[in-house]
Chain A
């Protein structure tokens, strides 16, 4: 029998003592900034991978060189985000940051191929050249060309060169087979597949680029997991603080351990919800660039539906409660943070399991394995929510998932309360089995 007035007193204390700290407000500001940094920095870094490259092209075949030069002219323009037709205009406007500009330096093959190659290699090492592309006569037949460079992992440059060589070779093969030159482009045009996502209500959202929905799922799920961990850890620290300051001895005279545990979990959880509320309000009213960035990302508007936000909170609350019960029990079972640390590491590894399973589940959210795994209560907050971000599961699964999760929370909370009951008043010595039995019987 719980006395909610006592629980409310504990909740009030736990809540106020945390919300009144500077640390709370600092983390409230810092977390979105960090999130923003995590999403924006990689983009910025990617855009810095452009640059200007001079590549020596060793070939004796004029037709091949011409085809290659044309192909690369189209490719660098395309890479820069301008249409192939705008290549000339782009040239006039000059390269922009993040563009890949390739300057070709044609070299006719010398009689002494080895000496020529050695000389060019010196230029590469001296950084006068980015690399040497060797296009022998035989490339048209066997498709084998060499690219010699110090850095063979410059992904974008390599991609451009490879596709240009490919295009040039195909062009020559087709024209020599009698295909009119002006028809080659039409014949070799790429076929694009457009991903179309449908929801349970059969509506199509065709812009939902999977790459972007992946990023959003990942960010949301990770945020869910991190906050659950973070606030769960808070609960453990709170329990340990009460134990080490011995205040628990004074409080349990008037508050049952179950009331104390629930008050603590609810109070700390309310702090977490407050933080979410601040973030959401700030994002809606102040148009925090990061949040807006997410929302305006192509196709993500469909993903960031109000329903999903509701489930985000639901899974945070349930998942947090599950984690927090574990952490409360761990805190109660040990005396110092150092001692608890080891157990806490094991626990967080177990709880990180769903993160490992995230990718398989994300790529195949409807497989039997994904469905079963995501229904396991321990994994559900992360995996089931992850499935929701990719594709809303059928209603019966949602109901089943929530029922299982709530049931599991009750079981875990009961168990945690038993450990808590025994643990909070044990100092130094491990409780004997007889003591534990005595406690359970007496409570």
Chain B
């Protein structure tokens, strides 16, 4: 794997509370990487450390093998979690300013700003002041400002928060376009279906450390418990008595039945049908959300 962004063994405490604890990440070049985790998991702290807004207490952060310093940081496009723009400034001036600050010559910054406003359906608002825009519109402007210099790495902290479905679609398309251009995209979210839709790789963090990390499809296979959804009148105890059943949980008027090691799905379905009155039985594909919840719960249980 060609590692683009590498976070190694990074820790950060605030007032003796460990926000990030020995966290390591590897983001492949050209991948869309999802940084997932519940609120307070340390996603934003990690991103702020990558951006050198806060410094880690220990550990190293490298971009393309080089420790991130002020110069390296300029190659990263960044959309912070808390949105901020100059409120009194016109939208077009703001984008041109951000483009210039990010190293574009003014005419080029202006050309790209106009193009971005077109793409984001904001062409009519070019001369409006930022404070006159809705929150969603401001978010679009800030998104354009973050990527106007076409950086090799884009970091988006909760990019979809507060967006309507149309704007969400627009952002997803732009992320896909950046990926197609060859840029690496890292974004954080706690809305898992979005991650499922966009990501090549994910990292699930909880309480400041990594719970799961890897390619999304591999994680699905590796971490989905081999499980059946069974509809039956039979009770939990009866199901548990069937050979090849490892565990049973209630699941929306049906049962989720985990397969024991070495048992195959079709065989277990036959076995179940032979022993209890089964109305329906099918393989249960766990969503990322299920995997996420189960792993976060397990992680909490590990502390308790």
Q: Tell me the A residues contacting B by CB distance below 8 Å.
A: 6, 9-10, 13, 16-17, 21, 241, 245-256, 425, 429, 435, 438-439, 442-443
Contact = CB atoms under 8 A, between A and B. Distances in A.
30 contacts: A6-B101, A9-B101, A13-B93, A16-B93, A17-B88, A21-B88, A241-B86, A245-B85, A245-B87, A246-B83, A246-B84, A247-B85, A248-B84, A249-B53, A249-B84, A250-B79, A250-B142, A250-B146, A251-B101, A253-B73, A253-B78, A254-B101, A254-B102, A255-B101, A256-B70, A425-B53, A425-B54, A429-B14, A435-B55, A439-B55
Contacts of B93: 13, 16
Contact of A9 (B73, B80, B88, B97): B97
Interface in B191-218: none
The size bracket of the interface on B is 20 to 34
Contact of B74 (A10, A13, A17, A253): A253
B286 interface: no
Contacts of B53: 249, 252, 425
A175 B146 CA distance: 98
A251 B102 CA distance: 8
B82 interface: yes
Contacts of A21: 88
Contacts of B107: none
Top 9 nearest A-B pairs (CB, nearest first) are A246-B84, A247-B84, A245-B84, A9-B100, A246-B82, A249-B80, A254-B102, A254-B101, A425-B53
B84 A254 contact: no
Given A252-B53, A253-B73, A254-B74, A247 B101 contact: no
A18 B88 CA distance: 10
Contacts of A16: 93
A253 B51 contact: yes
Contacts of B84: 245-250
Contacts of A438: 55
Given A9-B101, A429-B15, A435-B55, A250 B80 contact: yes
A75 B85 CA distance: 70
B174 to A, nearest CB: 17
B145 interface: yes
A244 to B, nearest CB: 8
A122 B229 CA distance: 113
B144 to A, nearest CB: 12
A439 B56 CA distance: 11
Interface string B75-111: 0101110111111110001000110111100000000
B55 A17 contact: no
A230 to B, nearest CB: 19
A17 B89 contact: yes
A256 B70 CA distance: 8
Interface string B124-142: 0000000000000000001
A249 B51 contact: yes
Contacts of B88: 17, 21
Contacts of A247: 84-86
B145 to A, nearest CB: 7
B77 to A, nearest CB: 8
Contact of A253 (B55, B76, B85, B86): B76
A247 B101 CA distance: 13
Contacts of B83: 246
Interface in B46-74: 51, 53-55, 70, 73-74
A253 B73 CA distance: 6
A241 B86 CA distance: 8
A252 B101 CA distance: 10
A252 B102 CA distance: 10
Interface in B220-267: none
Contacts of B142: 250
Nearest to A443: B70
Most buried by B among A6, A247, A252, A429: A247
Contacts of A10: 101
Nearest to B83: A246
Contacts of A255: 101
Contact of A17 (B51, B86, B101, B145): B86
Contact of B97 (A13, A253, A439, A443): A13
A254 B103 contact: yes
B285 to A, nearest CB: 40
A246 B55 contact: no
A415 B102 CA distance: 27
Most buried by B among A10, A245, A256: A245
A110 to B, nearest CB: 79
A438 B49 CA distance: 13
Nearest to A251: B101
Contacts of B85: 245, 247
Contacts of B54: 425
A442 B97 contact: no
Contacts of B97: 9, 13
Contacts of A254: 73-74, 101-103
A113 B271 CA distance: 137
Nearest to B73: A253
A254 B74 CA distance: 5
Contact of B86 (A6, A245, A435): A245
A248 B76 CA distance: 15
A254 B93 CA distance: 17
Contact of A246 (B15, B80, B146): B80
Contacts of B55: 435, 438-439, 442
Interface string B174-196: 00000000000000000000000
Most buried by B among A249, A256, A435, A442: A249
A429 B145 CA distance: 28
B158 to A, nearest CB: 13
B49 to A, nearest CB: 12
Given A17-B89, A425-B54, A438-B55, A250 B76 contact: no
A250 B89 contact: no
Contacts of B98: 250-251
B160 to A, nearest CB: 18
Contacts of B103: 254
Contacts of A443: 70
A249 B79 CA distance: 9
